[in-house]
Amino acid sequence: MHYPMQEDRVLIKKIRDSADAKSFKLLYDRYGPSLFAFAFQYCKSRTVSEDIVQDTFAKLWMRRNCLDEEKPVKSYLFTISYHQILKELRRLAKNPLLRDYVECVHDSGIDSTQYDFDVFMRAVEEGKKCLTPRQKEIFIMNKELELGVGEIARRLGIQTQVVSNQLCAALKIIKSKFPML
């Protein structure tokens, strides 16, 4: 759908000059879905993508007094979203389970637009509830603390084969909780 830039100019002027909430909502309704799709393309999380859209429009609102109706608001919104996405990707990159999510989606051949990171994390949490205390401890040490099998065995004072067996059993239980796999 194409919206003339002239209409955006009128909305920006109303937002800037009189904090017009109706004009703000019109902009939100116009650009929110495409900003969501843009964010989801990179973050693979509906929740995170929704937050990015909210943050983008919150920044627009907070900076409304500085808006220039002669500049395209669409570009401004996508620039804000782009920076929010980068910030979120830096945060997500620190999550050790992200690598497992990427491998899971890749290995299963499912469409990542249908299986987002939020669904994956909920499945992991549900699966962890079904583990024995030892399996859970080993799983957390391996997948969340990123310790190798040998290091886990040393810390727990058990054989590496026991760690491997417990980890294998834990992964089977957790994978059974993944929808669409």
Q: How far is CA 121 from the centre of its chain?
A: 10
- Contact between residue 132 and residue 178 where contact means Cβ atoms under 8 Å apart: no
Q: How far apart are CA 49 and CA 14, in angstroms?
A: 27
Torsion on CA atoms 21, 27, 29, 33, rounded to nearest 10: -140
Rounded to an integer, the average pLDDT of 90-113 is 67
Distance CA 169, CA 181 (A): 17
**High-pLDDT (> 90) share of the chain, %:** 50
Selecting from 3.20.20.140, 1.10.1740.10, 3.20.20.70, 3.30.2020.30, what CATH number does the domain 5-93 have? 1.10.1740.10
Number of H helices, E strands in the chain: 9, 0
Domain ranges of the chain: 5-93, 97-175
- Are the C-beta atoms of 37 and 43 separated by less than 8 Å? no
Q: What is the pLDDT of residues 74-85, one digit of tens each?
A: 999 999 999 999
CA distance 93 to 124: 18
Stronger pLDDT, 33 or 107, i.e. the higher one: 33
pLDDT of res. 105: 65
Which tens digits make up the pLDDT trace of 111-161? 655 567 777 788 888 888 999 999 999 998 998 888 889 999 999 999 999
Q: Going by C-beta distance under 8 Å and a sequence separation of 6 or more, which residues neighbour residue 32?
A: 53, 57
* Cβ-based neighbours of 60, under 8 Å, separated by 6 or more: 15, 24, 27, 67, 73, 76, 77, 80
- Residue 24: is its pLDDT beyond 90? yes
- How confident is the model over 49-68, as pLDDT tens digits? 999 999 999 999 999 999 98
Identify the CA nearest to 105 among candidates 92, 89, 119.
119
Residue 99 pLDDT more than 80? no
CB atoms within 10 A of CB 179: 11
Q: What is the pTM of this model?
A: 0.60
CATH of domain 97-175: 1.10.10.10
CA distance 43 to 118: 10
Instruction: Give me the pLDDT at residue 91, please.
Output: 80
